[in-house]
């Protein structure tokens, strides 16, 4: 399986293939959240990356662009975003938040609840596959 830099166009394309493979599987009901991400300091790009995370209906989707309405908007640096979304390192998010490296607008309580809610089996599978395509 080819590996790509997190959030690069090639990574997004491979992530969509993974998400599509799970599109017809029934998901477990979990806390749902939508968030727009503004990611700074990506090593492969000089401008910010606009992306979103959609965790509705028990599934996880990550794509470039913005959702029109979200629960929360988060601005964070590339390494923190990767640590949280790919490595599952919640401590990195907390540390970055406490030091001002993450800016949050919107429903902070829902974001924190999502961060502390154990992932479903399907979300764990998808996250593992995303790790497998990430450099």
Query: Under 8 Å CB-to-CB from 15, ≥6 apart: which residues?
Result: 62, 63, 130, 133
CA distance 101 to 80: 8
> Using an 8 Å Cβ cutoff, are 14 and 133 in contact?
yes
Q: How far is CA 26 from CA 1, 41, 59, 120, in A?
A: 25, 36, 9, 11
Average of per-residue pLDDT values in the chain: 90
In the predicted structure, residue 92 carries a pLDDT above the cut 80: yes
pLDDT at residue 114, as a whole number: 82
pLDDT (tens digit per residue) in 5-20: 999 999 999 999 998 9
113: three-class secondary structure by DSSP: helix
Count the residues in the chain: 135
Q: What is the pTM of this model?
A: 0.89
Nearest to 59 by CA among 132, 125, 4: 125
- Please give the structure tokens belonging to residue 103: 């800016």
pLDDT (tens digit per residue) in 55-86: 887 677 889 999 999 999 999 999 999 999 89
pLDDT at residue 29, as a whole number: 61
> Using an 8 Å Cβ cutoff, are 7 and 85 in contact?
no
Domains of the chain (ranges, CATH numbers): 9-132 (3.30.1050.10)
Nearest to 1 by CA among 31, 21, 30: 21
Percentage of the chain beyond pLDDT 70 is 96
């Amino acid at each position: 399986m080819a590996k790509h830099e997190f959030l690069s166009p090639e990574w997004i394309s491979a992530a969509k293939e993974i998400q599509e493979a799970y599109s017809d599987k029934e998901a477990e009901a979990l806390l749902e959240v939508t968030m727009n991400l503004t990611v700074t300091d990506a090593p492969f790009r000089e401008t910010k990356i606009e992306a979103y995370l959609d965790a509705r209906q028990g599934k996880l989707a990550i794509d470039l662009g913005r959702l029109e309405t979200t629960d929360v908007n988060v601005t964070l640096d590339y390494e923190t975003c990767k640590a949280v979304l790919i490595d599952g390192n919640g401590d990195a998010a907390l540390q970055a938040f406490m030091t001002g490296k993450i800016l949050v607008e919107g429903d902070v309580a829902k974001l924190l609840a999502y961060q502390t809610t154990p992932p479903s089996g399907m979300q764990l599978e998808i996250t593992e596959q995303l790790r497998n395509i990430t450099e």
